Amino acid sequence: MSYLLYCIFRGPLPPDLEIPAGVGGQRVITAEDNGFGTALSELAQPDPPPDTSMLLMYETVVEFFYRHLTMIPMRYGCRVECAGEAVDLLRNNHEAYGGLLHELEGLGEMGVHVLLDTSGDATESSKQPARSSSLPLYGDSGAGYLAAKRQRYLGLDREGLNQRELAKELCDSLYGCFVRHKVEFPSSRGSRLLSLYFLVPRDSVECFRRAARHLHPRGSTKLLLSGPWPPYNFVDSLLK
């Protein structure tokens, strides 16, 4: 038997709190130690690969705790063998969890996702190697090959620079509405999604939304605002 972990929080729980059912309809229980608690539920054996319904049930429980407490959200798949092991986890990481909960106090995560505009002559030309009439273009020409390769990497560098400038432009426009941010650049060449995540005071979420609605970043075709969510994207960086 093993147990799925949902989150870590600073206890105790508010009285008469009705926690929703966990993955597989299992009852969610809590284990506590020295002012900290964790939410967990029994995991079916054998453990099936997660499907959409399981992930939604998992996130429902995490978001339930987020609405009521300052908490550290866990990613799906974190588990312990028994409730006693969950208590040991709290005890052995008391200082780290305490510091992280302090960092996350009263904060939520907002996301700004930008669909980059890859159309247009400037963008297309930056993706193609530039050919110079002053260089030989024979197939066996080492000079021509190296020149084309250099132009290709210069194009990729320009693309990355444009993305960094766009991310800075967005962050500067939202300055004062968040306390920390994280940027995820497109994961591969040809990908068009630039994602930015912000830690925002919960009582300033509407202010952040109003500011984000006025964003009109250059070089984009669509902007999607999401949140507030549990601060998934800041847990690892803050623990480090």
The SS3 assignment for 151 reads helix
Q: What region, left, alpha or beta, does residue 54 occupy, with left being phi > 0 and alpha being psi -120 to 50 degrees? A: alpha
Residues of the chain with pLDDT under 70: 45-48, 118-156, 188-190, 219-221, 237-240
Distance in angstroms (rounded) separating the CA atoms of residues 231 and 137: 53
Under a CB-based contact definition with an 8 Å cutoff, are residues 193 and 115 in contact? yes
* Start-to-end C-alpha separation, the chain: 31
Q: 206-224, pLDDT tens digit by residue?
A: 999 999 988 877 756 688 8
Which residue, among 222, 200, 221, has the nearest Cα to 211 in the 3D structure? 200
Q: In this predicted structure, what is the pLDDT of residue 129? A: 41
Q: Which two tokens mark 239?
A: 């623990």
For residue 226, give both structure tokens: 């999401």
Q: Please report the pLDDT score of residue 190 as a whole number.
A: 62
CA distances from 216 to 113, 120, 223 (A): 12, 18, 8
Radius of gyration of the chain (CA): 24
Query: Under DSSP, is residue 230 helix (H, G, I), strand (E, B) or coil?
Result: coil
CA separation for the pair 110, 226 (Å, rounded):
6
Quick one: pLDDT at residue 207? 93
Tokens of residue 60, six digits: 């429902």
pTM of the full predicted structure?
Answer: 0.74
Contact 97, 207 (CB under 8 A): no
Return the HEC string of 205-217. Answer: HHHHHHHHHCCCC
In whole angstroms, give the CA distance from residue 228 to residue 107.
9
